[in-house]
C-alpha cells in the first residue's frame, strides 16, 4: 500500500490549515508526527488530539518523546482534567493520557 505523509497529503491538495486532527494509531504516533512535522512547526494545525501511553509505545521508545514533539514550539500541550484543559508535560511513565496539542491560533480560539 502506498504511504503518504500528512505534510505531502496537504501540500498535494493545497490544504494550508487544519482546524482539528486526531491521531490514533496504536503506537505509531511518533511516525505519523514525523510525517506532519512541517504542518506542526508552521503552526497550521489548531488542535491535535493524541492518546499517549508507554503501554503502546514501541520497544525502545518512551511516551515522553511523543509529548516533547507535541509541545515543540510553537505548540503547547494540555490534558483534560475536571472539564478543563490543564497544561501537561510528561515526567516519567505515562499511562494513557489524551494529550491536546494546540498551536498559537488554537490557544487563542480556546481563550488560553
Predicted local distance difference test score (pLDDT) of residue 104: 93
Instruction: Give the tens place of pLDDT for each residue, 14-49.
Output: 999 999 999 988 888 888 989 999 998 898 999 999
pLDDT the model gives residue 28? 84
pLDDT in tens, 50-59: 988 888 777 7
**Residue 63 pLDDT:** 83
| pTM for this model (two decimals) | 0.85
Q: What is the pLDDT of residue 77?
A: 94
Mean pLDDT of the chain: 89
Partners of residue 20 on adjacent β-strands? 47
Query: Would you say the C-alpha torsion 3, 41, 55, 26 has a positive or negative sign?
Result: negative
For the chain, which residues make up each domain, given as ranges? 6-109
How far apart are the C-alpha atoms of 3 and 17, rounded to whole Å?
21
- Three-state secondary structure along 37-93? HHHHHHCCEEEEEEEECCCCCCCCCCHHHHHHHHCCCCCEEEEEECCEEEECCCCCC
- Give me the mean pLDDT over the 83-97 stretch: 86
Amino acid at each position: 500500500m502506498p504511504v503518504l505523509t500528512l505534510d505531502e497529503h496537504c501540500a498535494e491538495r493545497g490544504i494550508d490549515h487544519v482546524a482539528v486532527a486526531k491521531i490514533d494509531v496504536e503506537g505509531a504516533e511518533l511516525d505519523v508526527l514525523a510525517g506532519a512535522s512541517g504542518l506542526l512547526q508552521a503552526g497550521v494545525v489548531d488542535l491535535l488530539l493524541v492518546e499517549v501511553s508507554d503501554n503502546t509505545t514501541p520497544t525502545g521508545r518512551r511516551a515522553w518523546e511523543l509529548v516533547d514533539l507535541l509541545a515543540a514550539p510553537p505548540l503547547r500541550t494540555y490534558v483534560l482534567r475536571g472539564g478543563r484543559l490543564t497544561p501537561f508535560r510528561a515526567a516519567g511513565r505515562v499511562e494513557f493520557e489524551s494529550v491536546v496539542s494546540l498551536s498559537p491560533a488554537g490557544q487563542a480560539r480556546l481563550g488560553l
